Every structure is written in C-alpha cells, then in structure tokens.
Amino acid sequence: MIFHILIILALVLYLCFFIFNKWKNIEDSYFSTFKKIHAEPPWIICRTAYDSKLIQVIKDKLNERCQELNDWFYKIYHHTLKYLIITSFNASPFPNNEYHLCFYVDTENNYLHTAFDHHVIGGETITRVTSLMTGSNKFIKLPKANLLTGLCYTPYFLVKKPHKIQSCIPHNIPEQMRIFHWDLTTSKEGTKYEILYKILTILYKRLCKSARNCDYIVVYLPIAFINSSKNNYNNIGLMWLQFSPTIYKSIDELKSGLHKKRYEVMVSNTVLNLRLVKSDNSKSIRKNVDVVISMTYAIDPMGPNTVWSYYKRPEYPLYVAVGTSKVTNSNTLKTSVTVTINTDNFQPSKKMKELKIVDNLITG
C-alpha cells in the first residue's frame, strides 16, 4: 500500500514538474549563490521614526541585535550576513552594494534607515529585520511549509489556474516612479482582514478611476513561511486575488474568500521548495498582476511608524508595504501603508502624502 502511494506521489510530482515548466508562471525563487554580491541587487529601503530618547537606545542596541540576527541566519544557511551600520551618513554610501543589510542611524532627525538586498533577505528574515528596526522583542508567528499538502492540492491548482487571471488595467510605464503614504487605524478585533479590505478598496478606486472597463484589480499576497532549508532564502507562498467591492462586498466575504484560497499558498510554496519552475522563467506572471501587497506587523514596537519601498521600480504597477503596530494595551491597530507606483493609472487622493527618495533615503 505504501509503495503504491509513493508511486502516485512520484507521478504527481513529475506531472507538476512538466506542467509548471511549460507554463513558467510561478513567482521566482529569487536567489542565486549566497557568496555572490550582486552589482545591482533589488534593494528594499525602509525608514522607522523614533522619538529623540528612543533613537539613542536603538543606536546602542543595534550591534547586539544585528549579531543575534546573524547568529540565527548562520544556523539556517551556514553563511554570515554582511551588514553595515552607519552613524555618519557622509562616511559611506547607502545602500552599499558590498553588503546585504545596511543601517543608517539619523540621530538628528530621529530616523532609523534600513536597506536590504532582496536577493538574500527574504521571507522570515524580513520579519526579523522588521522586529530589529522597530525595536520589537517579539517575533511574528509564521506557518510551516508542508510539501505533502502542497502536492495534494496541486491538481486542483492546475484546474483552477488562479495565476492565469488577466489584468484589465494597462501596464504602462510612467516617466518616474512615485511613492505615497497614508496611515490607517482599525479595531483590534478586525485584524488583518479589516486592514486588507480597507486598503484593497482604496487601491481599487484609485487604480480604476481613470481606467476604462476596470471591473477588478489583480492582487497577489506573498505569505512568509518559517525558514527551514539552506537552499531557499525566500520561503514564501503566494495567493492570487481578483478584487473589487462588487466581488467582495464585506470584510467577512473577503475573509471567507481568502480562507478558501489558502491552498494556493501551499501549492506555490511547494513549487518553490521543490524547484519545479526555473526562477529565470517565472517572471511572466507579473505581467498579469496589478498589485503586490506585503503585510507585516511589530508587537509593542519602540518605533511605531515604518515606511518602505523598492529602491528602484517594481516590476508591476503597485507595490504596497503594510506595517501594523500591535500595542498590547491598545484597543486599536495603527497601520502604515506605503504605495510604490509604477503606473500612470493610479490617482492618489488628497489624504495621501507623497514621499521622495533623496540621497538614497526616504524623505517626506
């Protein structure tokens, strides 16, 4: 009996390998050899605001927290992160391509600026970097990968083809990338579904305001998994979403819809971990995606306001960075939303504040 099950699983695996390589449509696994420092890595740049007293506390603890991160990283990957801490901005360029992770402590304006190479820093590592830069001592709980579950749902995934949803918005390239930011306050009970629904509703209205025949926006949500293999720096899964306020009329409907689509995360994570798709052939999916949303949170952060963006253009119209502060004794959740815009179709509202990248730092 066990032998027959193994044969069936082997056949399913072979079928998946054949079909996925033919479609070439799953998010790439990003990373090549660790030892190679990339000439132009896909840098993510961040900024966390502190008050005048706490910025010095963070500065004093930064080396210690970086070493803790490095020790954890070495246990998983058997490699050491190259990080740089800058306290005088004129002393070194930021970000610095000789390093994987850079910090600049701006004690004059009370900001901690962070930049990381997304070839190496991904998934769970990003959540730990978020904890470090916000001054939180509690780590986010992440799911564990389950290859068997992913393989079992693969035939259903191949039938449903969620990654084949076609965008109805022109993916034109504007003259320059723009960044906007706004804050969002929600109830503590509403959690991520209330936050996500409000953000998606705003994005839909702002994206479809000037586009014709825009019935929905195509969104994908990267979900980080616990790092368990030295061969995969970005252990994630993806969920595809076709959103409009007509398709999902309430927070509860969105929550129910996301629960039904959890299998997509398991399947795509399995595809990445088993390397069923070549990374250099999988970027075509981004042609159909309008919005990529990365959500994270910090528990009892010292720095409650964090914004982040791609240093250069994302490969899709909108990259949305969502950072939520979970304060233990508060009845509300405060969320910072940053939208990196690579399209002319997005029409920002008056409530959105435009940010700039000046001297390689997020300003505004």
The amino acid at 333: L
- Whether the pLDDT of residue 363 is over 50: the answer is yes
The amino acid at 231: N
Separation between Cα atoms, residue 203 and residue 331, nearest integer Å: 26
The H or E element containing residue 220 is strand 217-224
- DSSP annotation of 95 reads S
> pLDDT per residue over 299-333, tens digit each?
999 987 899 999 888 888 999 999 999 998 888 89
pTM confidence score: 0.88
Query: Contact, 340 vs 310, CB < 8 A?
Result: yes
Burial class (CB in 10 A: 0-12, 13-18, 19+), 195: buried
Separation between Cα atoms, residue 92 and residue 137, nearest integer Å: 29
> pLDDT per residue over 154-201, tens digit each?
889 989 989 888 888 888 888 899 999 999 999 877 678 999 999 999
Q: What is the rounded average pLDDT for all residues in the chain?
A: 85
> pLDDT per residue over 338-361, tens digit each?
999 999 989 999 999 999 999 889
Mean pLDDT value of segment 277-290: 64
Q: How far is CA 300 from the centre of its chain?
A: 21
Q: What is the pLDDT of residue 281?
A: 43
Query: Contact, 45 vs 94, CB < 8 A?
Result: no
SS (H, E, C) 3-17: HHHHHHHHHHHHHHH
